[in-house]
Amino acid sequence: MAGLPYIVGNWKMNGTRAMLNEARAIDRAAARFPKVQVALAPPSTLLYRMRDTVELIGVGGQDCHAKDNGAYTGEVCAGMLKDAGADFTIVGHSERREYQSETDAEVKAKAEAALSAGLSVILCVGETEAQRDAGDAEGVVTAQVEGSCPSTEGAPERLSIAYEPVWAIGTGRVPSVDDVAAMHKAIRAKLVAIYGDAGSDVRILYGGSVKAENAAELLAVPEVGGALVGGASLTAESFLAIVGAAASLAEVG
């Protein structure tokens, strides 16, 4: 797998201008961790200001519409994210798959729109607890990868997959390192089946209750190329502890 470890904070529907102080602190500290790629995905209302506030870290959206423009009240398209200074966008987060009933086909269309607009993409997949208990986790997740991955020319170069078990998001529960390793291996095999050799270079992040206490263990798992972090990305202190864990592993790796 190519590239630096990628640690991305997803602020979800949290943050007003006052929280840009956290982004500023994260950006300043990022200079101490040149072997880690750091990024934040704030709510779209903060994107433009965050872009102006930070210098070193990436800034991205949490979702985009699949169309370029039009009568879609309340929506934001990929070109608008790019115009506001985004480098990337998340698509297919399980909260959108659940609350907005987003399908794999819609997620794929969003990923393709984002790539066409010049953004990189973090595409989320993950099984529910019932699916894992039924022994279907790998089947569900690899089917999501198959159905959601963009077909755009050159897609693997700007694509990351975030494996986020739905039952681990915001719960404090995490899968065993063996389960994370098995799932990342299955995702890798599917990416190579889709993209050929280029599928080997797509970064696969782990997400779901990553914190300072478990980051080193999770980031050391084979095929884990970084982390998508929700709750622990909301303060510089908790997020930088995860970035620091990634940096320590990158030093020895």
List active site positions.
93, 164
| Burial of 22 per CB tally in 10 Å (0-12, 13-18, 19+) | buried
The contact mask relative to ligand PEP for 8-37 (x = CB under 6 A, - = no) is --x---------------------------
Smallest distance, Å, CB 39 to ligand PEP? 13
Stretch that binds ligand PEP, among 27-35, 39-47, 59-67, 162-170 (CB under 6 A): 162-170
Question: What angle (nearest 5°) sits at the alpha carbon of residue 192, between those of residues 191 and 196?
Answer: 125
Task: Answer yes or no whether residue 161 interacts with ligand PEP by CB under 6 A.
Answer: no
Between the CA of residue 199 and those of 60, 75, 112, 119, 162, what are the distances in Å? Answer: 23, 31, 16, 18, 14
Q: Is 28 exposed, middle or buried (0-12, 13-18, 19+ CB in 10 A)?
A: middle
Stretch that binds ligand PEP, among 111-119, 129-137, 217-225, 230-238 (CB under 6 A): 230-238
Q: For the CA atoms of the chain, what is the radius of gyration?
A: 17
Stretch that binds ligand PEP, among 42-50, 111-119, 223-231, 244-252 (CB under 6 A): 223-231
- Of 130, 123, 168, 166, nearest to 147 by C-alpha is 123
- Closest separation in Å from C-beta 88 to ligand PEP: 14
Residue 228 binds ligand PEP (CB under 6 A): yes
Footprint on this chain of ligand PEP (rule: CB under 6 A): 10, 164, 169-170, 207-210, 228-232
